[in-house]
Amino acid sequence: MFNFFSEVKKGVKNFDLTGKYNIVNISGEILYVEGHKGVALLSKTQISFKVKNGRLLIEGDNLVLVELTEDTLKISGKISKIEAL
């Protein structure tokens, strides 16, 4: 999978994201996440996953976990809410 944040970090000096997470929400229909620690909940209306020091909850309609790697994931669907827990 293409790593968006690795590409961004190449042009920025002294930028440390070690152990943190990053999110890109594209038009409320695609969500790209780097730095997750595992999926906790998976349904068509909610997807939750662990991040350092907490959890993120994604709510919407027709949510699909399109891609999952060791530390990145991609969700598609109609994303209505992103909440840090």
Q: What is the pLDDT of residues 3-42, one digit of tens each?
A: 666 676 676 666 565 568 888 899 999 999 988 999 999 9
Which single residue is written with the structure tokens 């969700």?
75
Structural domains of the chain sorted by starting position, each given as residue range(s) with its CATH number in brackets: 1-7+33-85 (2.60.40.2000)
pLDDT at residue 5, as a whole number: 65
Q: Residue 53 has what pLDDT?
A: 85
Return the structure tokens found at 43: 């349904």
Report the predicted TM-score, pTM, of the whole model to 2 decimal places.
0.79
Q: Give the C-alpha separation, 14 to 25, whole Å.
A: 25
Give me the pLDDT at residue 44, please. 97
pLDDT digits (tens, 9 = 90+) for 35-59: 899 999 999 999 999 998 889 999 9
| Burial track 32-63 (b if 16+ CB lie within 10 A, e otherwise) | bbbbbbeeeeeeeeebbbebeeebbebbbeeb
Predicted confidence at residue 21, as pLDDT, reads 86
